[in-house]
Structures are given as C-alpha cells and as structure tokens.
Amino acid sequence: MKKYEFTGETKQVGFLGNITLKRIRATMEFGIVKIGDLGGWIEKEENLSREGNAWVYGNAKVWGNAKVCGNAKVWGNAKIYGNAEVWGNAEVWGNAKVCGNAEVWGNAEVWGNAEVWGNAKVWGNAKIYGNAEVWGNAEVWGNAEVWGNAKVWGNAKIFSISHVLVIGPIGSRNDFTTFFRDKDSEITVKCGCFLGKIDKFLEKVCETHGDSKYAIVYRTAAEIAKQQIDLSEEN
C-alpha cells in the first residue's frame, strides 16, 4: 500500500513560478503520521520515498530531483530542491534550504534560516542553524555546530564545535567573519568577498587597511582564531 496520495491541491514555485507542487496526504500510519494527515508539497513521487518513515510536513516543499527518504523529516517552511538528498534520521525545518547537490543525513539537523548547498555534506550529529551557510565542498559532521551568521564555504572539514569561530560584527563592513578548519587541517577565512587561507587573509588586511583600527581588529580576530580552532588530526 502506498503511504501517501496527492490531494489535488497545487501551488507554483521556482524563480519563474513554473514548477507545480502537489500536496500530499497520508494513506497509512507510520512513525507519528496518522492516516489522513495532510503533508507538505512535492513535485513528484520521486521526491519522497514510499518506504520508511520519511515525511514532508506542513508548508515544506521538495522539488526537482531532490529526495527525502529513510526516516528523514522536513517541515515548517523548509525547501529541498535541485539534486539535494535528505535521509537517515536527518531533520530540516524552519526556513532552512538544502539544494544543489547537497546531502544531509544521519542524525543531522538543519533549521532556522540556514542554507546547505553546492556539494556540501552534513551528517552525524551535526547541527546547522540560525543564518549559517554551508556550501561548496564543505563537510560538517560529528558533533559539530555551525550557527549564527557563520559562512562555511569551500573545502571546510568540520567535525567538532572547536573547528569554527565566528566574530562580528567587525571591520569596515560591520559584518561577521568566519574562521574554520579546512581539509588541509589549516584555517580558512570567509570575510565579505574574501575566501582563503588565514595567511592570505592577513596579507589582504594589510594591503587594504594598513595599520588602521580595522586592521588591528581583523588581526586580533585572526590571532584568536589561531588559538581557538583545533587543527589536530581526527581521532
């Protein structure tokens, strides 16, 4: 027996409003879902597995080639699209977005206004929340948490809470600067349009701000990051 059916309700999404989503309704009991419970919105059956306890709740939306399977839960105003995959016991909710080729699995949680995209992978007990962004080839797992206004991009490799430091608002832009462990076991910095190793960041600070108060603040933040971020090898 199929675990859900389409209700006949539809809504349009996408940049051009040209993607039609269909509302789902449970036709069997599984997990905390009861027969007749209204679910969220998907574009096609391939978006939500008919096996396991995976479910799309409320106003959550899944489209494109995205897949929700296993025991995953997607609810609130969350959006899963592109080629993204959410599975295992993962949960995505709030206004969170998982898109591109991103993958979220295990017991990972993504919520708030957080975004996971590109080729990013989040798994284990990792938590991404607030206004945080994880993308590129970034990997976040273990008991790591990325939150607030953190921006973890590129080749990040984060598996502990001590692998990320966000400081701000600071500098000439009164913005947040993120320092994080990368796949070379070094520190990468995301500050405004800059994304690169911490030494290159300090060179850019010197070039742009000289010995101004902004330079002093950025250099101080970098020194704190060097002390705070754990670059030891994974156990």
Kindly list the domain boundaries of the chain, sorted by start residue. Answer: 4-148, 163-228
- The order of strands in the sheet holding 194-197 is 164-170, 175-181, 187-191, 194-197
* Rounded CA separation 48/81 (Å): 12
At 234 the pLDDT is: 60
User: 218 near 177, Cβ under 8 Å?
Assistant: yes
Q: What is the DSSP string of the chain?
A: --SEEEEEEEEEESTTS-EEEEEEEESS-BTTB-TT-EEEEESSGGGB-SSTT-EE-TT-EE-TT-EE-TT-EE-TT-EE-TT-EE-TT-EE-TT-EE-TT-EE-TT-EE-TT-EE-TT-EE-TT-EE-TT-EE-TT-EE-TT-EE-TT-EE-TTBEE-SGGGEEEEEEETTTTEEEEEEEBTTSSEEEEETTEEEEHHHHHHHHHHHHTTSHHHHHHHHHHHHHHHHS--PPP-
Residue-averaged pLDDT of the chain: 95
Residue 179, number of CB atoms within 10 A of its CB: 25
Q: What pLDDT score was predicted for residue 173?
A: 87
Q: What is the pLDDT of residue 235?
A: 46
Beta strand 175-181 with 187-191 is antiparallel
Q: Which residues pair with 33 in a beta bridge?
A: 30
Give the pLDDT of residue 97: 97
Would you state the pLDDT for residue 14? Answer: 80
pTM: 0.91
Between CA 168 and CA 178 the distance in angstroms is: 9
- Kindly state the tokens that stand for 46: 């391939």
Its CATH class, for the domain covering 4-148, is mainly beta
> What residues in the chain have per-residue pLDDT under 50?
235
